[in-house]
Chains A and B, each alone.
Chain A
Amino acid sequence: MNTSRLTRMILVLALAASGAAQAADDSASDSDKIEAYREMISDGNPAEFDEMRGEELWKKPAGPKNASLEKCDLGKGAGVVKGAYAALPRYFKDTKKVQDLESRLLTCMTTLQGIPEADITAKPFASDKKPSDISSLATYVVGQSKGMKMAVSTKHPKEKEAYEIGKRIFNYRAGPYDFACSTCHATSDVRIRMQDLPNFNVKADAQSAYSSWPAYRVSQGLTRSFQWRLNDCFRQQRFPEPKFASEATVALTMYLAVSANGADYAGPGLKR
């Protein structure tokens, strides 16, 4: 995060908080103030621009095969986007793999459009300089599950296996700091510096955390995908980098998504 953006964000938060002061009690906690800020700008989430970009990319013929993604099967049948994200990750017969949204988009972009996989995975995340097609596509797809109940299945043995492996990755301590995901995300009501941490062993926490990603990060001015979220967690965990859309990341996503089952999906979200 660059400092000038952070400073500006704090200013915006401060302005928003003062604007909401009549409604909110003076003693309202910081997280209440942030909640009020979210409410005020609920129709102003810049993630919408990324959704628009993603929708265009979904419908526009591209790649060596000059095809759109309108025949991409995200689990609800070819071309069905509505509600697809609320049931991902899931097992796909054609690839014989459990896939999350981004790994499935990768499959569609390589098979339907003929784009080489390495071209996509080399820079899968958006930056200041350049948006990411796969990330914008993901933003578009998740937006089409807004308000729907998260219902990720573990019926297929491969889905169950992915869940079990994901749980183990969640608790896997390694690296110079001995950190696992669970070091920060298995205790309630704790924070790192000023940041509240969700406890993924508690349903309500898991639901509100998972269902608000992907999200627009005000401090970065970018919409961030779920694969990015995991990638940056592992960075802070002092791990090496997880490969984009790898089995490890999909399994972990499976574990987190199932923990959030029953939530009303609320993404794309808005974060500090």
Chain B
Amino acid sequence: MNAKQLFGIAVSVCLASVTFSAQAGSKDDKKLDAKTTEIIKRDFRDKGIAKADRVNQDELQAACSKYLDDVPDKLKGKLEAAQAKEIKWPADGKYMGDWKAGEKLAQSGRGMTWSDKPEDTPGGNCYNCHRLSAKEIAYGTIGPSLLNYGKKRGTKEEVQRSVYGHIYNAKAYNACANMPRFGHMGILTEAQIKDLVALLLDPESPVNPKDASAAAK
């Protein structure tokens, strides 16, 4: 046996051991995954409107958790298509409501926690993660700035429809997006989503300031 062959064997031994440990790891991983699910199902309880069954994951949540939000392309496409299929588009074919109601909704961070009352209307929580208007300084940065959103895109019907779809179910466009599925999960009503579409696209909305200096920021 020459040195080259020996080297070849050594490399394949290494590869084999790597493969082996990866397999052993995944077996352990599966056990740990199962135990985690078991613990989570046991250790959370109803409080107020937040019922214990909220910890049960749907297919999408489970996949995003498993792959740390980086699901393989093929699965990603499949998940997105499944989410898109469930979007309920407005029956009247109109996507834009009242931007003023939308702004109020965007400001509200209420809703869906165990300290919220069942009769309280959930807010949009938009400012928690996005910059929307130039004059509101208390905005989050988890999501992209949406200032001037409509100015850049106009108000063509396909734009309106896309914005409606994104708010209704952001995961139809990006499977493991951080953004909640406001329509899909029943957080916001059709009318409320329309108000938010208007907030983003209406030329009168503070999201699309006419003043050039505000727009430049």
Contacts and interface: CB of A to CB of B under 8 A. Distances in A.
Contact of B54 (A171, A174, A247, A248): A174
A51 to B, nearest CB: 28
Interface residues of A, number: 40
Contact of B56 (A174, A234, A238): A174
Given A176-B180, A193-B139, A240-B47, A165 B54 contact: no
Contact of B141 (A182, A191, A238, A240): A191
Interface stretch (B57-65, B145-153, B159-167): B57-65
Interface string B116-154: 000000000001110000000111111000000000000
A176 to B, nearest CB: 5
B112 A176 contact: yes
Contact of B68 (A178, A182, A184, A251): A182
Interface string A166-183: 001101111111111011
A240 B171 CA distance: 23
B7 to A, nearest CB: 36
Contacts of A179: 180
B40 A172 contact: yes
Category for how many chain B residues contact A = 35 or more
A243 interface: yes
Contacts of B76: none
Q: Is the interface of A mostly helix, strand, loop or mixed?
A: mixed
Given A180-B65, A240-B50, A187 B142 contact: yes
A35 interface: no
A248 B112 contact: no
A240 B51 contact: yes
A192 B142 CA distance: 7
Contact of A194 (B64, B115, B138, B185): B138
Interface of A: 161, 164-165, 168-169, 171-180, 182-184, 187, 189-194, 197, 234-236, 238-243, 246-249, 251
Given A171-B65, A172-B36, A248-B43, 7 more contacts: A172-B55, A177-B187, A180-B65, A182-B68, A191-B141, A193-B140, A247-B43
Interface of B: 32-33, 35-36, 39-40, 42-47, 50-57, 60-61, 64-65, 68-69, 109, 112-115, 127-129, 137-142, 171, 178, 180-181, 185-187
